[in-house]
Amino acid sequence: MTSAAFQLSRQHPYPPQPIFWQDKYYLLAFKDRRAPSSEEFLREQEKLRGEVLQYKRQLIFDAWLAGERQRAKIKIYEMPS
């Protein structure tokens, strides 16, 4: 949906068809384009940097965990009744 929104402009204020996303239809319309203020950009930049760092950490952890699961030799012992 984000890519469809960023393709809109004054010359093309509407997408060629409604956007279907997460089992719903959305109608988008271009209103105005503005650049963020420097203060707003810096605030968002730090937030996004943190999100990207967390995402990368999660990818590394998931890869490590998948490797450990493949190498693991797990035996389940049941107690006799």
Does 25 fall in a domain?
A: yes
- Is position 81 within any domain? no
Same domain, 42 and 66: yes
80 belongs to a structural domain = no
Tell me, yes or no, whether 61 lies in a domain.
yes
Same domain assignment for residues 42 and 28: no
Query: Where is pLDDT greater, at 67 or 6?
Result: 67
Give the C-alpha separation, 81 to 73, whole Å: 25
Looking at the predicted structure, is the pLDDT value of residue 4 above 90?
no
- The pTM score is 0.46
Residues 30 and 44 in one domain: no
Q: Total structural domains in the chain?
A: 2
Mean pLDDT in residue range 74-79: 85
Residue range(s) defining the domain that contains residue 16: 1-34
Which residue would you say has higher pLDDT here, 66 or 2?
66
Report the distance separating Cα 39 and Cα 52, nearest Å: 20
- The three-point CA angle 47-28-32 to 5° equals 65
Q: What is the pLDDT of residues 25-65, one digit of tens each?
A: 988 888 888 887 888 888 899 999 999 999 999 999 999 99
Structure tokens given for 67: 């490797």
* Amino acid 80: pLDDT: 87
State residue 6's pLDDT score: 81
